[in-house]
Amino acid sequence: MVNDCVFCNLEMEPEQGMILSNEYCMFLQLKQAQIKGSRLEGSGLIVPKKHRATVFELTLDEWNATYTCFTQI
């Protein structure tokens, strides 16, 4: 966990909500992306629960969990 990371500290971005999660990752979405007809409707981020600076740091379990999360969106 990194203190100034918005993905380790979800409360840092009040507009951000966790839509779904599994053991290793979560799908985050800003409120504006939930507005029907908005330019970013449905968009969001899949991020690992443990802090990773880049995707190259993901473990195989985290990669697999990211794929599983992606198929559930």
* Smallest gap from residue 61 Cβ to Zn ion (A): 17
For Zn ion, give the closer residue by CB, 5 or 19: 5
* Smallest gap from residue 55 Cβ to Zn ion (A): 13
Task: Give the tokens for residue 72.
Answer: 């559930």
Residues between 6 and 25 with contacts to Zn ion, criterion CB under 5 A:
7-8
The residues, any chain, with a CB within 8 Å of residue 46's CB and separated by 6 or more, are 25, 26, 27, 28, 66, 69, 70, 73
- Whether the Cβ atoms of residue 72 and residue 65 lie closer than 8 Å to each other: no
Determine if 2 is a binding residue for Zn ion (CB under 5 A).
yes
Segment near Zn ion (CB under 5 A); pick from 4-12, 21-29, 30-38, 56-64: 4-12
